[in-house]
């Protein structure tokens, strides 16, 4: 790998050639070698790493992700986030990875091209050219540095106001047509989980990375379609394009369901297993959940499906040139994926699709992680519902309707959406003491402080702030909220969560079997990320990954990544600890009941502790970190 090291204290830059299978391998090595486990994640001496995989620039689709590796202000250990499509232009710079240390005196943008590197002082602009938020900042950069964008066909990774003001900032990137100074429809993506934007902005005062150039594929063999077809025939007995189309059908268009993409497929597929109202649905009988799902299909899913799959057929890719999966389903100009829309929709008590569009757009403009914001909004709403908070303490004009038994979808959804918008705006502005605590610290630390601040209410209601939100705890203060799936794998004691590095099927097993299946999935997901491959392509990529590395690069994939992260987490005092949220624990027990487990009935807290301990012991034993 060609690795660019940037010291923002001094402005010094250098390029070294380093042997590494991918950006996660590099990032874990750098963070470990510099013994950063005992440092604050926002300490400028803690490196921030972004990079691309080895298979860029050839005939393979779905291999052009940019991967961020960083010490998370949320988990307090190594975390990984990915942006789709960006590597297709990033690779043109000839740089495979960037390692950032130090903190610039002024907000700074890093420009990388095949002709060199430069640093520019750039104050982020979040209202410009008729755009707001990260869209405005991207447009501003594209106009101000138009010569660079045009000459190098460049693409920018930027941060929003959330990264500058809160713990929950994402990295945001929109593919652009530099010659037209225009955004490409649907070609936008985020690396959001764990707060990478916050690390880049608040830790290093770096607000944008812009890269492009004329360098093509790193390894010539990735352009050899005959070799690619040979690998496919050896593994699947079918040519590559046929295999890819079969393995990615969910994300493009599934004719058996009449829909496609994560949003289109997940609602009719998961149905009664969808987490609603901040996971309160896990306590609801199946027949009641079924009634809610019918309303969600009618009001939330059908308007999207009718527009995107019947009328407009507006499907695009993320900027990964040549990728025919076109997973980006665009509703009247807005990219629609399951998790951000679920965060702004049924998870917060909003079943009206059009209302969710406005909320997702607001979240995106600020550069928040949408999944985390869904949890924050649901948590605050539930805290008001349970009389732990008053609306005025979070700057709301009214009380949300957050009891699924009383919820009227058509009447209450617009009200909840309006209040969610107020809450998001108030959070970014830290307009109340409560919201300032949340914005500065995140859910876990804030929950404990709010328990103390409102001790009388906690005692009188018998509810605590941490029991009304689902999160996994790490060490003394780290945490992550789960993706929106009702599965034990999303809250089990894994070293990296908030991604799909786990068994996330709606299933239940004894802890030893579950830990084995989750670790296998985690290792494979980590390898796909390290290779810079989109996980939508994992179906064809995983079975031939070893041969891809061997044939194209002469290396073997780094199957030690997950163990190395676990070792770092232990040194950072940020390994998984027992659930602090009863609702998180009940995600496990409720699914056990849902599928009729006889062995695990979770009659008392000791049963929860035993399941967690046995799972963790099995995981650590398999990783050889026990």
Tokens found for residue 222: 């990735």
Residue at 480 is within a domain: no
Reported as a pLDDT band with limits 50, 70 and 90, residue 456 is: very high
pLDDT at residue 474 greater than cutoff 80: yes
pLDDT at residue 319 greater than cutoff 90: no
pLDDT at residue 318 greater than cutoff 90: no
CATH number, domain of 157, equals 3.60.9.10
Domain boundary among 217, 235, 269: 217
pLDDT at residue 626 greater than cutoff 90: no
Residue at 489 is within a domain: yes
Domain boundary among 194, 217, 240: 217
pLDDT of residue 401: 98
pLDDT at residue 186 greater than cutoff 80: no
| CA atoms of 587 and 602, how far apart (whole Å) | 12
pLDDT at residue 75 greater than cutoff 90: yes
Do residues 337 and 199 both lie within one domain? no
Q: What is the pLDDT of residues 348-390, one digit of tens each?
A: 999 999 999 999 999 999 999 999 999 999 999 999 999 999 9
**Side-chain-side CA neighbours of residue 370 (13 Å):** 26
Residue at 278 is within a domain: yes
Residue at 144 is within a domain: yes
Mean pLDDT (whole number) for 79-96: 96
Reported as a pLDDT band with limits 50, 70 and 90, residue 180 is: confident
Residue at 423 is within a domain: yes
Q: What is the pLDDT of residues 389-416, one digit of tens each?
A: 999 999 999 999 999 999 999 999 999 9
Do residues 587 and 564 both lie within one domain? yes
Tokens found for residue 161: 């106001």
pLDDT of residue 244: 96
Domain count, the chain: 3
DSSP state of 549: I
Q: What is the pLDDT of residues 29-71, one digit of tens each?
A: 999 999 999 999 999 999 999 999 999 999 999 999 999 999 9
DSSP state of 481: P
Mean pLDDT (whole number) for 202-214: 98
Do residues 261 and 367 both lie within one domain? yes
Residue at 478 is within a domain: no
pLDDT at residue 92 greater than cutoff 80: yes
pLDDT of residue 552: 97
Domain boundary among 171, 198, 217: 217
Residue at 472 is within a domain: no
pLDDT of residue 157: 98
Window from 141-145, 181-185, 288-292 with minimum mean pLDDT? 181-185
Do residues 89 and 236 both lie within one domain? no
Reported as a pLDDT band with limits 50, 70 and 90, residue 430 is: very high
Mean pLDDT (whole number) for 336-355: 98
Residue at 477 is within a domain: no
Do residues 228 and 287 both lie within one domain? no
Do residues 117 and 158 both lie within one domain? yes
Do residues 496 and 414 both lie within one domain? no
Do residues 529 and 546 both lie within one domain? yes
DSSP state of 86: T
Do residues 574 and 524 both lie within one domain? yes
Do residues 269 and 388 both lie within one domain? yes
Do residues 460 and 498 both lie within one domain? no
Question: What would the DSSP string read from start to end of 296-309?
Answer: HIIIIIHHHHIIII
Do residues 190 and 49 both lie within one domain? yes
pLDDT of residue 198: 98
pLDDT of residue 577: 98
- Alpha-carbon dihedral sign for residues 360, 363, 369, 375: negative
Reported as a pLDDT band with limits 50, 70 and 90, residue 613 is: very high
Give SS3 for 577.
strand
Measured distance between the N- and C-terminal CA atoms of the chain, rounded to whole angstroms? 33
Residues spanned by the domain of 329: 255-466
Percentage, residues of the chain above pLDDT 90: 93
Tokens found for residue 611: 């399941």
CATH number, domain of 461, equals 1.10.569.10
Mean pLDDT (whole number) for 240-247: 96
């Amino acid at each position: 790998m060609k690795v660019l090291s940037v010291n923002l204290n001094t402005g010094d830059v250098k390029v070294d050639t380093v042997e590494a299978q991918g950006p996660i391998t590099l990032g874990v090595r750098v963070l470990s070698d510099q013994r950063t486990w005992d440092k604050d994640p926002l300490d400028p001496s803690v490196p921030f790493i972004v990079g691309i995989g080895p298979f860029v620039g050839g005939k393979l689709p779905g291999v052009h992700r940019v991967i961020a590796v960083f010490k998370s202000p949320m988990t307090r250990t190594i975390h990984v986030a990915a942006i789709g499509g960006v590597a297709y232009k990033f690779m043109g710079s000839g740089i495979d990875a960037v390692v950032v240390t130090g903190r610039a005196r002024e907000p700074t943008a890093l420009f990388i091209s095949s002709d060199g590197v430069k640093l520019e002082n750039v104050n982020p602009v979040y209202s410009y050219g008729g755009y707001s938020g990260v869209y405005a900042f991207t447009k501003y950069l594209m106009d101000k540095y138009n010569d660079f964008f045009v000459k190098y066909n460049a693409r920018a990774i930027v941060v929003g106001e959330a990264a500058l003001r809160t713990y929950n900032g994402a990295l945001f990137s929109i593919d652009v047509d530099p010659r037209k100074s225009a955004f490409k429809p649907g070609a936008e993506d985020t690396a959001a989980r764990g707060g990478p934007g916050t690390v880049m902005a608040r830790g290093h005062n770096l607000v944008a990375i812009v890269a492009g150039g004329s360098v093509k594929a790193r390894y010539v063999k990735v352009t050899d379609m005959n070799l690619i077809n040979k690998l496919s025939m050896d593994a699947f007995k079918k040519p590559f394009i046929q295999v890819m189309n079969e393995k990615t059908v969910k994300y493009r268009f599934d004719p058996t369901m009449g829909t496609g993409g994560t949003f289109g497929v997940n609602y009719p597929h998961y149905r009664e297993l969808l987490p609603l109202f901040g996971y309160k649905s896990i306590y609801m009988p199946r027949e009641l959940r079924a009634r809610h799902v019918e309303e969600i299909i009618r009001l939330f899913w059908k308007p999207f499906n009718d527009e995107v799959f019947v009328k407009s057929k507006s499907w695009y890719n993320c900027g990964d040139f040549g990728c025919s999966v076109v997973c980006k389903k665009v509703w009247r100009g807005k990219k629609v994926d399951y998790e951000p829309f679920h965060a702004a929709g049924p998870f917060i008590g909003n079943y009206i699709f059009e209302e969710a569009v406005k909320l997702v757009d607001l979240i995106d403009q600020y550069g928040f992680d949408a999944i985390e914001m869904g949890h924050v909004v649901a948590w605050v709403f539930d805290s008001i519902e349970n009389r732990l908070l008053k609306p005025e303490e979070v700057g709301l004009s009214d009380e949300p309707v957050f009891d699924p038994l009383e919820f009227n979808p058509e009447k209450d959804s617009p009200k909840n959406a309006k209040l969610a918008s107020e809450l998001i705006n108030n959070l970014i502005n830290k307009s109340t003491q409560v919201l300032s605590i949340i914005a500065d610290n995140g859910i876990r630390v804030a929950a404990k402080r709010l328990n103390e601040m409102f001790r009388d209410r906690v005692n009188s209601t018998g509810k605590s702030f941490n029991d009304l939100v689902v999160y996994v705890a790490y060490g003394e203060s780290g945490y992550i909220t789960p993706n929106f799936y009702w599965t034990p794998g999303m809250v089990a004691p894994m070293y990296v969560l908030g991604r799909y590095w786990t068994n996330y099927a709606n299933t239940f097993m004894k802890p030893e079997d579950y830990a084995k299946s989750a670790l296998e999935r985690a290792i494979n997901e980590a390898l796909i990320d390290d290779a810079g491959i989109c996980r939508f392509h994992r179906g064809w990529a995983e079975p031939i990954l070893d041969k891809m590395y061997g044939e194209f690069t002469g290396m073997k994939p780094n199957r030690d990544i997950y163990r190395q992260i676990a070792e770092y987490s232990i040194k950072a005092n940020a390994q998984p600890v027992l659930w602090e949220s009863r609702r998180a624990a009940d995600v496990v027990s409720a699914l056990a009941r849902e599928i009729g487990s006889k062995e695990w009935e979770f009659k008392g807290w000791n049963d929860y502790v035993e399941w967690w301990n046995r799972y963790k012991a099995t995981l650590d034993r398999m990783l050889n970190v026990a």
